[in-house]
Amino acid sequence: MKVLALALMFSLAAAKPVLQPARQPTGHLEQRAKGGRWYFAASGHAVYCYGPVKILPQANGELQRVATFCRDGQAVVPLKD
């Protein structure tokens, strides 16, 4: 009788489905969801920025295009024209 009760108890425990948590997208999928864009920096490197491109005045009076809120942590990156 005990064997039958133990077998019934183990079969009920094994019958419960194990739910796994939903997986969240990682890596490049999150970056694309933010709506960024690649730009060519004045330093010669490619940078991925999320903000708008702005035109800022320089100390010598010229205007310079800059990308804002870039992935490498810089707030403003001068762009190559």
pLDDT tens digits, residue range 25-51?
655 544 445 689 999 999 999 999 999
Considering only residues 59 and 22, tell me which one the structure prediction assigns the higher pLDDT: 59
Q: Report how far residue 78's alpha carbon sits from residue 28's, in angstroms, rounded to the nearest whole number.
A: 24
**What b/e readout covers 20-37, taking b as 16+ CB neighbours within 10 angstroms?**
eeeeeeeeeeeeeeeebe
pTM for the full model?
0.55
Q: CB of 34 within 8 A of CB of 50?
A: yes
In the predicted structure, residue 17 carries a pLDDT above the cut 70: no
